[in-house]
Amino acid sequence: MANRNNVHIVQRGDGWGTLREGGQRASEVFDTQAEAIQAGRQMARQGQGELLIHGQDGRIRARDSYGNDPCPPKDSK
């Protein structure tokens, strides 16, 4: 099941878009990937989801979690 709080940064035509998981259309489209990442990071923080950054080939190249981390760090104590 898609988590609508997750935000994907994907290539859209000549630009980069922020896309909620499970959505078909980008919420916003930016000229650069860096601008899209900045906007997507805020969206993921507000929704306490994950930010998934895709490369030009469409594969996920990085991800950040803002809330429910599926793999939380273990205590070293």
Question: pLDDT means per 10 residues in the chain (77 residues)?
Answer: 87 94 92 97 93 96 82 69
Tokens of 16: 């980069």
Neighbours of 66 (CB within 10 A): 19
For residue 17, the model assigns a pLDDT of 97
Answer yes or no: is 61 within a domain: no
Q: What is the number of structural domains in the chain?
A: 1
Tokens of 50: 């994950």
How far apart are the C-alpha atoms of 37 and 53, rounded to whole Å? 7
For residue 74, the model assigns a pLDDT of 76
Answer yes or no: is 24 within a domain: yes
Distance set, CA 67 to CA 17, 49, 62 (Å): 22, 6, 17
Answer yes or no: is 76 within a domain: no
Residue 41 lies in domain: 10-55
Answer yes or no: is 45 within a domain: yes
Reported as type and span, the H/E element at residue 34 is helix 33-47
For residue 76, the model assigns a pLDDT of 66
